Chain A
Amino acid sequence: MSSLAIKNLTKEYGRTVVLHNINLEIQAGEFVVLVGPSGCGKSTTLRLIAGLEEVTGGTIEIGGHVVNDLEPKDRNIAMVFQNYAIYPHMTVRRNIGFGLRNSMKTRAERDARIEEVAGILGMTDLLPRKPSQLSGGQRQRVAIGRAMVRDPAVFLFDEPLSNLDAQLRTQMRLEIKKLHKRVGATIVFVTHDQIEAMTMADRIVIMKDGRIQQIGTPSELYHAPANIFVAGFIGSPSMNMIPGVASGGDVHLVGGVSLPIGIDGVDARNVTVGIRPEDLHPTDGPALFSGAVNVREPLGHETLIYVDTAFGEIIAKADGRAPPELGEKVNFNAAPKDIHIFDSESGAVLTRAC
């Protein structure tokens, strides 16, 4: 296991710039998840780390050494592909042992290592089988086993769970996390599923259009999003976004409601006010929003309610046992600390006075 540092990384395909100046420091043993919408450059970043593509600018360091000019085979990384890419003509044993072929180990040592990895992944029984005789989850495990067997400096995962059904995905998610605890490897994991990102990561890197939007722990991203994109991307259902205006240090919603927050140094600026559904609380006193319940989505432990307000539709969470009736008028308030103010133009979060 090694640290990984990406400095001013740029990637261009012809004239299209796919990655703009990516900077990322990953500690040894850290589990970092790259997340973002399709086409934002997650796979490209991984492929650059793996050496499958050439960088256009910047450096990649593994364990303190610049690896820009090294071939993939000399970088000591392992990669798990989205479609597994396990070799159909080899048994599970040969698939897992494939990466050991060029090592200095004796045959007995190799076999012992293969058995050990198979044991960790619970597939000792499957070793003599061919991939065609395995289920999707088992193939996935073979792919992970093949990556583990060499003890690589860094593990790269490119959406390894996206081909699995929901239940298996949850299970493998947990297994990969446990595996990380157990072998303590440095992992860069790509997904476009924010739940995977939130549940697995030590730190999350959110990307969009080839740029890093924010790097932070799941909790930081959730509670202190750096911009509108991150705020909207993390959390389900997403954050309510309401247009407003900042003037004279105060924030007013369209329609005249004043928010109980002050903003420094911005005047007469369009802002976007973000509030997460679970931060909206029903109130009998003065309300930020009020409106009639339009749609209810019962989830069991809670019910999502879509409320028609003067600012458009707002999503809130209500009690699962006694949600408001359809058409019922509800009033909501939110604590000042739970209200996020973003610059509407740049999207960046605005610092607050209080």
Chain B
Amino acid sequence: MAAFDGVQASSESVFERRVTRRKASLAQSMSWSILFFGGILTVMPIVYMISTSLKWPHEIYDVSLIPEEPHLENYTFVLEDGRFYGWFVNSLVIATITTISNVIFDSLVGYTLCKFRFPGRYVVFIAILSTLMIPTEMLVIPWYLMSQSFGWLDTHWGIMFPGLMTAFGTFLMKQFFETVPDDFIEAARVDGQNELQIWWSVAMPLVKPALAALAIFVFLGNWTAFIWPLIVTNSWEMYTLPVGLSTFADEADVAWELVMTGAAISTIPTLIVFLIFQRFIIRGVVMAGLKG
């Protein structure tokens, strides 16, 4: 292609083009290098995590990336340790239920706030939004007292209940439902559908990208949640993965290689969730059915 261009252009313009091309490649190589360093910075901790998980205890304070004798003993140990399995299941159950709950209830409330006109709508919306301004650390004590009086301490429900709906998710979904044209909803109403059917089979499919984003956020948030699960659980059977992994570090000498192994295994579900849902994020479908 370049050669072909050169044949057609005069020698002068070829020269000019070379110059601009060189400039472009300079700018390009700069942006590549920035991206490269950014990439390294992001990937390094993960590489270190995996590398450490392949090391023997005596070399974990050695900064070298390549283990002297890479081995999978840590993985066998962690996976055969019954506790790890239990924590993994706890985390999976809690993150999954919380994600489903958020996707359904945040979008129900967001949809209602967006598409229905009723007195007090604005007040409700502001009230929900204002809870975003309260940091989790402040809520932990009332949550704890609440769990205590309801007998939810050290239960799955106790770990889950504060996150089953989020103000952020409600806000996100409300904003996305604004992009669903009212005509779609009115057309469905005229076609004899009830409001729940309209929400589920007309509005929800049109905001799939937002639902996918919400699902990823919520799943990751709950998968990595630490403070609240740590506070509300007492027995190791109820620990979630991050809480459980931290106990490896509690024991007399910190078994970093085991912590890193557990962490490495625990990233797998988040990867799977991301791969499943990112497909939907890319597809924007809302406008295709409306003309002009």
Contact = CB atoms under 8 A, between A and B. Distances in A.
Contact of B189 (A72, A87, A89, A101): A72
Contacts of B186: 50, 52, 72, 79, 81, 85
A227 B187 CA distance: 36
A85 B189 contact: no
Interface stretch (A129-137, A200-208, A290-298): A129-137
Main SS at interface, chain A? loop
B190 A77 contact: yes
B289 interface: yes
The interface size bin for chain A is 20 to 34
A50 to B, nearest CB: 5
B183 interface: yes
Contacts of B289: 84-89, 131-132, 139
B123 interface: no
A236 interface: no
Contacts of B287: 88
Interface stretch (B1-9, B10-18, B20-28, B191-199): B191-199
A126 to B, nearest CB: 14
A85 B289 CA distance: 6
Given A87-B184, A89-B206, A50 B290 contact: no
B288 A88 contact: yes
A79 B189 CA distance: 10
The interface size bin for chain B is 20 to 34
B291 A136 contact: yes
B40 interface: no
A88 B286 contact: yes
B189 to A, nearest CB: 4
Contact of B184 (A51, A85, A163): A85
A150 B192 contact: yes
B193 A102 contact: yes
A83 B191 contact: no
Contacts of A136: 291
Residue picked from B188, B190, B288, most chain A C-beta under 10 Å: B190
A93 to B, nearest CB: 15
Nearest to A95: B289
Interface in A205-244: none
A73 interface: yes
B162 interface: no
A38 B288 CA distance: 27
A85 B203 CA distance: 12
Given A85-B181, A86-B289, A99 B202 contact: no
Given A79-B187, A81-B187, A102-B197, 6 more contacts: A73-B190, A81-B186, A83-B181, A85-B186, A139-B289, A146-B191
Interface of B: 181, 183-184, 186-194, 197, 202, 205-206, 285-292
10 contacts: A50-B190, A72-B186, A86-B289, A87-B206, A88-B290, A89-B205, A89-B289, A102-B194, A139-B289, A146-B191
* For the complex of A and B, 9 pairs with smallest distance between CB atoms: A88-B289, A88-B288, A99-B191, A85-B183, A132-B288, A85-B187, A73-B192, A89-B205, A72-B189
